[in-house]
Chain A
Amino acid sequence: MSSKLRNFFIDNAVVILFVVLIAIAIPVSGLPGTFLMQEILTRLGRNTFLVIALLLPIMAGMGLNFGMVLGAMAGQLGLIFITDWNIVGIPGLLLAMIISLPISVFLGWLCGSIMNLAKGREMVTGFILAFFMNGLYMMVVLYAMGSIIPIMNPELLLSRGYGIRNVVGLDGVRQSLDTLIPLKIAGLNIPAFSFLIIAAVSYFIIWFRKTKIGQDMRAAGQDRAVSGAAGIPVEQTRILAIIISTVLAGIGQIIFLQNLGTINTTSSHEQIGMFSIAALLIGGASVTKASIPNVIVGVILFHLLFLVSPMAGKNLIGSGMLGEYFRQFVSYGVIALALVLYEWKRVTQENDSRATLRGGGAPAAKEAKGGAA
């Protein structure tokens, strides 16, 4: 029994830690419940799609896809183009998604191909690749747009005549998705259409897992060598997982930015990977296992802590900046904690299996035997 309890705490250490932190921070912050509920509903609609984009690479054994930033860049390029062409409303968002699609597919293919050359180190490869592609993105946005790529709207351009301004207003598409089905329950505005899209993509992920390609991905994630021997095209399957993830990240970034109503051209995409991964890990996911409930729980807990931490910091220490520092600390800290826990569990499992082979039996097995006796 104690072993089960221990395993439960180890498996859910991050979730428990955050529930405790939030339980302390909410009363200290003094924020009203209706405000928190409204903010959480808005942020669920805004961020969940991006976090869902991380699920398939985890299933394919490629860990947390830090390369999703590439998809976010593609989404932003789509939004810049529709703002230049002045395409408004839902058609504008759909057109931005279609524009981002080929860019996301290409970047996803590139990312997946490079990750295949660095098997076992996909996460750090994706992380560095995102930095590299950020440089290319900056070159396109700050140099090519207006000089090589025609931009017709002079309000988008920097005063030197080329390059996109740092902040681009998305007035034409602002909250088009969120307000498409106006729904108000108990004084709370529900972004119903965004939730429907999230439900649809969640259903797609569940359905995809059951398909032949989905099963291949799971097999490749569990053991590459055995899958390859069984005739599964492991490398192609891994590339496909990253392409789908990048495409979903591009669409997710468009949904995210239409809710905010502005693009910070040079930095909106940078934090997306980190925050989405942190939210997923807080929801109880690991490097090898993640599900839709992990996404929902993670987004709620992560953003609840984001909301209450500035006020809690202000009330406790008298400085709201503490909460801002805490956000960064939480994002990076939870990723580090999840990686450490994952590695520790892996080493413990290896030691246990070695001990079992030597005939000593794993500590957990011994306890089970003792309990039975």
Chain B
Amino acid sequence: MTSRSLFQRSCVLLGFIALSVYLFYIGKGHMLLIDTNAVTINGKELRSPETIEVSIDGKPAESMGRAERILVLVGGPKHSITIEVLSGEDKTVEKQFTIPTFMDSAVVSVPAILGDAPPESWITTFTAPPVEEAPAEQMQHEQDTPEAAAQASPDATGAGQPKP
């Protein structure tokens, strides 16, 4: 292989790697939770209007009330949100926002957007609440031990035992 062809092949390889990184960046999927719960930013409480319609990236608008969340799946980092306020003062707000590439699930705060809060406070990482231990499952585990099973149903324990 000549040095020229080695250089050409290296360029093609680098081109493919660069293209892959770019595709990863523009195609990364995110789960957005559009949230109308009240938020406190810099000591100021921001509340959502009674009724609004929200649309992400020009998709069909969805109606929302106060303290609600809707789920939207999007791809890529840059998005637009259109909020139409239907109760009180009628106004339409359209804003652009960016989601960090490795933020899989994000909460988009509608009150923060409508309340002219700084853009960095519009998006927060969504962390799922911890899963509570299911009491029924614990009871099942306890019953699995022979002592617990004997306590739970003394009649049944004798049936499976080998007779002397």
Report if A92 contacts B (CB, 8 A): yes
**What's the least CB distance linking A109 to chain B, in Å?**
15
A95-B16 Cα distance, complex, nearest whole Å: 10
With A87-B23, A98-B16, A101-B16 in contact, is A172–B75 under 8 Å at CB? yes
Looking across the interface, which residue of chain B has its beta carbon closest to that of A94? B23
Report if B24 contacts A (CB, 8 A): yes
Contact A85 B24 (CB under 8 A): yes
Contact B20 A86 (CB under 8 A): no
Contact A95 B75 (CB under 8 A): no
Interface size on B, residues (CB 8 A): 13
Contact A87 B19 (CB under 8 A): no
A85-B27 Cα distance, complex, nearest whole Å: 10
Report if B104 contacts A (CB, 8 A): yes
Question: Which residues of A are found within 8 Å of B26, using beta-carbon distances?
Answer: 91
Contact A98 B27 (CB under 8 A): no
B residues 1-40 near A (Cβ < 8 Å) are: 16, 19-20, 23-24, 26-29
Looking across the interface, which residue of chain A has its beta carbon closest to that of B22? A91
Contact A95 B104 (CB under 8 A): no
Contact B24 A88 (CB under 8 A): no
Looking across the interface, which residue of chain B has its beta carbon closest to that of A91? B27
A91-B29 Cα distance, complex, nearest whole Å: 10
Of B16, B20, B24, B27, which one neighbours A89 at CB under 8 angstroms? B27
Q: 0/1 per residue, A312-351, Cβ < 8 Å to B? A: 0000000000000000000000000000000000000000
Question: Which residues of B are found within 8 Å of A172, using beta-carbon distances?
Answer: 29, 73, 75
A95-B73 Cα distance, complex, nearest whole Å: 19
Question: Which residues of B are found within 8 Å of A82, using beta-carbon distances?
Answer: 27
A90-B26 Cα distance, complex, nearest whole Å: 10
Question: Which residues of B are found within 8 Å of A92, using beta-carbon distances?
Answer: 23, 27, 29, 75
Question: Which residues of A are found within 8 Å of B23, using beta-carbon distances?
Answer: 87, 91-92, 94-95, 98
The contact sample of 12 A-B pairs, CB cut-off 8 A, is A86-B28, A86-B104, A87-B23, A87-B27, A87-B29, A88-B75, A91-B24, A91-B76, A94-B23, A94-B27, A98-B19, A98-B20
Residues of chain A at the chain B interface (Cβ within 8 Å): 82, 85-92, 94-95, 98-99, 101, 172
- Nearest first, the 7 A-B pairs at minimum CB distance are A91-B27, A88-B75, A88-B29, A86-B29, A87-B27, A91-B23, A95-B23
Residues of chain B at the chain A interface (Cβ within 8 Å): 16, 19-20, 23-24, 26-29, 73, 75-76, 104
